[in-house]
A and B are shown apart, each in its own frame.
Chain A
Amino acid sequence: MKSAVVTFPASNCDRDMFDGIEKVTGQKPHAIWHQDTEIPNVDLIALPGGFSFGDYLRCGAMAARSPAIRAILEHANRGGYVIGVCNGFQVLTEMGLLPGALMRNKSLKFVCKTVHLKVENATSAFTNAYAPGQVIDIPVAHHDGNYFADDATLAALEDNNQIAFRYVNKDGIATEDANPNGSQHNIAGILNERGNILGMMPHPERFVEDAQGGSDGRGFFESIINTLN
């Protein structure tokens, strides 16, 4: 799998993303700087977590207007795969590639812990290595992960099976207690309608080998390999 990881000023999970992709796929991603206007022909572009541009104005707002964005849009419009994790998810919503917005956590606190996620859509390019309804453990670390969209958008996400992951308890039930940030419908990750773009707050790249405390994130990258084969 050919991939590229885009680094913005104050991205801080780009190294984790490089490492996670390489560990699972065996291939080193290209390193793209936010000022690069061209991205090599790849299968996957990953937007990593962090605090791009210091979260100035709104999380992801500045990064979403970077010079590299045009090349990311061209890749996405061609049907190329794009993932945005954490700050990367915020950038994708600010770019308008995914609906909704990520707001300050309901608790106002930074949350940093491992959460249970239910795989709601196990047929997408990013989730097909998981079983439908499977509960996986993935870490979250964010201050602004509270997913908001208007009612019509939420209904469309539900109807089109665009909700990839939901925060759940260990039994797979989406409860208020299991929701770390106040996201509507316990949404942890969503797909675009075409299914080639995924944004999620939890960090699969941080859970790809047991030494990291868990390896449930591997399936995420394995899914993309399955899709490409």
Chain B
Amino acid sequence: MKARVHITLKNGVLDPQGKAIQHALGALGFEGVDDVRQGKYIELDLSETDKDKAYANVEEMCKKLLSNMVIENYTIDID
């Protein structure tokens, strides 16, 4: 089964890269982009077949390595 993990910066954490992307989009003529927040997307192929167990396992991975809980949030999708 496949786990898809999105890592995003917590609200209130400045995102200078997101700001730079926003400015670059403006420079290319894209209007109306009020804010940009960038993050990471990680795909994991798992041998586990039980969805709940897979979720719990990936959540541990997020806490221990994939995200830094000081500055980042994670969301997990499993299918």
Contact of A103 among B40, B65, B71 (CB under 8 A): B71
A61 and B68 form a contact (CB under 8 A) = yes
B70 and A104 form a contact (CB under 8 A) = no
Interface band, chain B: 10 to 19
Which of A10-18, A32-40, A93-101, A157-165 binds B?
A93-101
| Contact partners of B54 in chain A: CB under 8 A | none
B25 at the interface (CB under 8 A from A): no
A65 at the interface (CB under 8 A from B): yes
A194 at the interface (CB under 8 A from B): no
B28 at the interface (CB under 8 A from A): no
A103 and B20 form a contact (CB under 8 A) = no
The 4 residue pairs across chains A and B that have the minimum distance between CB atoms? A101-B70, A101-B71, A106-B16, A108-B16
A sample of 16 inter-chain contacts (CB < 8 A) reads A57-B65, A61-B65, A65-B64, A100-B70, A101-B70, A101-B71, A103-B13, A103-B14, A104-B16, A104-B17, A106-B16, A108-B16, A108-B20, A146-B14, A148-B71, A182-B14
> What is the interface of chain B, defined by CB distance below 8 A to chain A?
12-14, 16-17, 20, 40, 64-66, 68, 70-71
